[in-house]
Amino acid sequence: MNAREAISQIACDLPDDRVEQLLDYARYLSSRDERFGWQVFGKLQLAKAYGDDEPEYTAADLQGKG
């Protein structure tokens, strides 16, 4: 029996309120994976936009005193 079959069997034996909790957890795992994918994408896009030739800024630059 693989993991999907085992989860399905366990879900069949659970009361409805527990099945709802299982569904909520499955949705959480799915959204967490999706968020992680977007984070990776965002980092790649940032790396494309800003390279090694960017100037070094100091605290004075941020305060407008540079």
Where does the pLDDT of residue 65 fall: very low under 50, low under 70, confident under 90, or very high at 90 and above?
low
The values of phi and psi at residue 8, to 5°, are: -60, -45
pTM: 0.52
The label of the residue with tokens 């989860």 reads 7
Task: Give tens-digit pLDDT for 26-54.
Answer: 999 988 888 888 999 999 998 888 877 77
**How far is it, in rounded angstroms, from Cα 22 to Cα 26?**
6
Count Cβ atoms below 10 Å from residue 19 Cβ, excluding itself.
14
